[in-house]
Structure 1
Amino acid sequence: MRSSPDTGWYSVRCVFRWEPPRDVYEERVTLWRTASFDQAIVMAEREAAEYGSDEAMRYLGLAQAYRLPDDVIEPGTEVFSLIRDSDLEPEEYLSTFFDTGDECQEHVS
């Protein structure tokens, strides 16, 4: 893709479901250089369909995009951010959405 002044880096999170016996979900964040959120999601969903095309997993159709704040990727660059309204207290919020005890902290293959 040719670069233009409007082109920027976008990260897109896609969610997958591994099939039994694994019985787990995977969230992947990929980077795309394009001109819009919509284009980034189209590109990420195309890649997600390919990534989740084997019998071991499937793409669930959820893609969330984030435009990186600068057109420079360097150590410490924020690549994804999701803001969620919640009345939960911090410990309950973390245990509900992120630290359930069932997470795999490395790549599942």
Structure 2
Amino acid sequence: MPSITELCRELRQKQTPAEGLLWNILRNRGLMGKKFLRQRPICVKSVMVKYEYYIPDFYCDEAKLVIEADGPVHLYKKEYDKNRDTVLKSLGLIVLRFTNEEIEKNMGIVLEKIKQSL
């Protein structure tokens, strides 16, 4: 079983085209001077005193903002995504979800929504 660090590296290497487009804007403080990280694990201690990791596509610690780029696979994991968002929001994080299509075809609208959350 790969470590969480190895898994994050693998996810970064296998980014979708939509993730790549958004990352090109967010990286190097490219949006409003905020630092975003890509595929950074967030550790959560569960009630069973075990640790669970969530790996958002993009994360800005300063703004406590998680951004998810959802591809077709997310159509089959709606309940998981809903529960995950609930956990992340309980940590005081803001969660934004965009479809890959929204990112690819309406980047201006996507960036405006991100700016409003920053």
TM range (shorter): under 0.3
More helix by share: 2
Bigger relative contact order, structure 1 or 2 (CA pairs below 8 A, ≥6 apart) = 1
Which of structures 1 and 2 has the bigger CA Rg?
1
Structure 2 length-normalised TM: 0.25
Structure 1 length-normalised TM: 0.26
More strand by share: 1
